[in-house]
């Protein structure tokens, strides 16, 4: 895919959704971090159902730590892998209190040092909370980057590196959200909704199927 076509694709995304946002509910950087940690291999809808009950009760490292493991599990038990996630959240809260004055760190290395925080989670926090030009590649973004032709790669890191390189700088802040929403609702896995796609004329997916 050439540079001009990528430019047009992101112009279309911006035209249709000028201010894209994550679908996770949060009201602070810490809440965002916890929500993203919980969202691994889970839907945003299921995470929101849990955190809508959890955050009014505990939404700081201190208050979540005070809940203890079993009480925290009771709030997030509807989310996949809740046992390991609860343990990681508590360990992360301890580190935030002891090493970061209860604040979520701005650096990738500090974020990835937190239990349960991998590269993708760090990228989401750096981009969404701190405005850094990072690209968190999930299954949706990996799929459509290869399918549309924006950035083809054999693994998540390869696609991430290519996207950061080829997406025009003016779009980097919002690119993650545009791509994930496009993959979630339009360019879906089994049967992409090409007929209702705003970038259908720019897409390099050869075997298009209309609804």
- Whether residue 208 is contained in a domain is answered as no
CATH of residue 174's domain is: 1.10.1670.10
pTM of the model: 0.89
* Residue 205 binned pLDDT confidence (cut-offs 50, 70, 90): confident
pLDDT in tens, 97-150: 999 999 999 999 999 999 999 999 999 999 999 999 999 999 999 999 999 999
Q: Report the CATH number at residue 62.
A: 1.10.340.30
Residues 161 and 177 in one domain: yes
Same domain, 104 and 148: no
Given CA atoms 74, 50, 134, 27 in this order, what sign does their dihedral have? negative
Question: Tokens 């909370």 — which residue?
Answer: 129
Say whether pLDDT at 206 is over 80: no
In the residue annotation, 138 being an active-site residue is answered as: yes
Question: Within this chain, do residues 89 and 172 fall inside the same structural domain, yes or no?
Answer: no
SS3 at position 199: coil
Query: Active-site residue 120, yes or no?
Result: yes
Question: 112 and 45: one domain?
Answer: yes
Q: pLDDT above 90 covers what percent of the chain? A: 90
Residue 211 inside a domain? The answer is no
pLDDT in tens, 54-110: 999 999 999 999 999 999 999 999 998 999 999 999 999 999 999 999 999 999 999
56 burial type by CB count under 10 A (0-12 exposed, 13-18 middle, 19+ buried): exposed
Q: Which domain holds residue 190?
A: 3-20+134-202
122 and 146, same structural domain? no
Catalytic residue among 5, 21, 110, 138: 138
Of 73, 91, 120, 152, which one is the catalytic site residue?
120
pLDDT of residue 207: 44
Last residue of a domain, one of 108, 128, 148: 128
Residue 184 · residue 144 · CB < 8 Å: no
Final residue in a domain of this structure, among 65, 94, 128 = 128
pLDDT value of residue 25 = 96
Domain count along the chain: 2
**What is the C-alpha to C-alpha distance for residues 199 and 39, in angstroms, rounded to an integer?**
28
- Domain end residue (candidates: 103, 128, 153): 128
Cβ atoms within 10 Å, residue 138: 18
> Is 209 a member of any domain?
no
CA distance 176 to 164: 10
Please tell me whether residues 123 and 48 are part of one structural domain.
Answer: yes
CA-closest candidate to residue 30, choices 75, 78, 93: 93
């Amino acid at each position: 895919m050439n540079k001009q076509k990528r430019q047009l694709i992101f112009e279309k995304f911006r035209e249709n959704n000028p201010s894209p946002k994550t679908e996770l509910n949060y009201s602070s950087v810490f809440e965002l971090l916890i929500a993203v940690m919980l969202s691994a291999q889970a839907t945003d809808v299921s995470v929101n159902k849990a955190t809508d009950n959890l955050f009014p009760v505990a939404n700081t490292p201190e208050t979540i730590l005070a809940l203890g493991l079993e009480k925290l599990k009771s709030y997030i038990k509807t989310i996949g892998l809740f046992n390991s996630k609860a343990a990681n959240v508590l360990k992360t809260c301890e580190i935030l209190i002891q090493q970061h004055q209860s604040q979520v760190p701005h650096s990738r290395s500090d974020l990835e040092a937190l239990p349960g925080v991998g590269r993708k989670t760090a990228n989401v926090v750096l981009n969404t909370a701190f405005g850094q030009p990072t690209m968190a590649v999930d299954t949706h973004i990996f799929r459509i980057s290869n399918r549309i032709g924006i950035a083809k790669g054999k693994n998540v890191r390869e696609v991430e590196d290519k996207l950061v390189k080829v997406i025009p700088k003016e779009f980097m802040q919002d690119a993650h959200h545009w791509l994930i929403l496009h993959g979630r609702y339009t360019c879906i896995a089994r049967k992409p909704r090409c007929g209702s796609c705003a970038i259908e004329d720019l897409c390099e997916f050869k075997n298009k199927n209309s609804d």
